[in-house]
Amino acid sequence: MRHGRDMRRTRIALSLVTALLSGQTFAADQATRAKIAEQKAEVLEQKAEAGDSPPRAVLITRPGVQAVDPAGEAPLDNAITCLARSIYWETKGKNQTEMAAVANVVMNRLRHEQFPKTVCEVVTQGSEQGRCQFSWWCDGRSDDAQEEAAYTLAKEIARQALNQQLPDRTDDAVYFQNRHASPSWLADFIKTYETDAHAFYKPSAGAKP
């Protein structure tokens, strides 16, 4: 009887050790995938800024992009997190069309000579003057993602955008705003696209962004 109890305890202990080791291995694998994805993103944003097509070897994979910032709480210090968090907050998880269009604007700015040359600099531009280009960055609220499903989709769209696999629905737009607003600066811009929530614009001939 005692022998049987000892055997059960041994099996339970071995199961716990196995589970612990498996969890540690999974965490290590996730960290490795995330690091590789972040390194690839650095190359991809350089390729996008220069207008070059990325080699297949540096394309970010689906598992790789989802390994980055899994809790939605990481610092915005890499292209994937900066782009995904901007997609997430600017669209509030409305739908994939809205998310893709916002990603298009960030990538279009990256390629435009009047804007910064990295994704994070594009997203945080103007914060030093308190006039952020993307309002969520300066609204004084937490920047952590709060809805797992919406943030997972935002990261997938960010992956496609950085891989240059996301069609530009906005026709080179570098600005967007609430579709019902009509600020004075619109006189110098051409509307290129519209979604349920936003209108998208690019400079008219001779105008500067």
Domain ranges of the chain: 36-203
Residue located via tokens 């937490």: 142
Give the pLDDT of residue 82.
96
**Rounded mean pLDDT of 143-165?**
96
Q: Name the pTM for this structure.
A: 0.84
Residue ranges of alpha helices (H) inside 68-145 are: 79-91, 96-111, 119-124
pLDDT 10s digits, 98-143: 999 999 999 999 999 999 999 999 999 977 666 788 888 888 789 9
Measured torsion, CA atoms of residues 54, 58, 59, 60, in degrees rounded to the nearest 10 = -140
Q: E strand or H helix at 25, and its extent?
A: helix 2-50
- Count the neighbouring beta carbons within 10 Å of the beta carbon of residue 29: 12
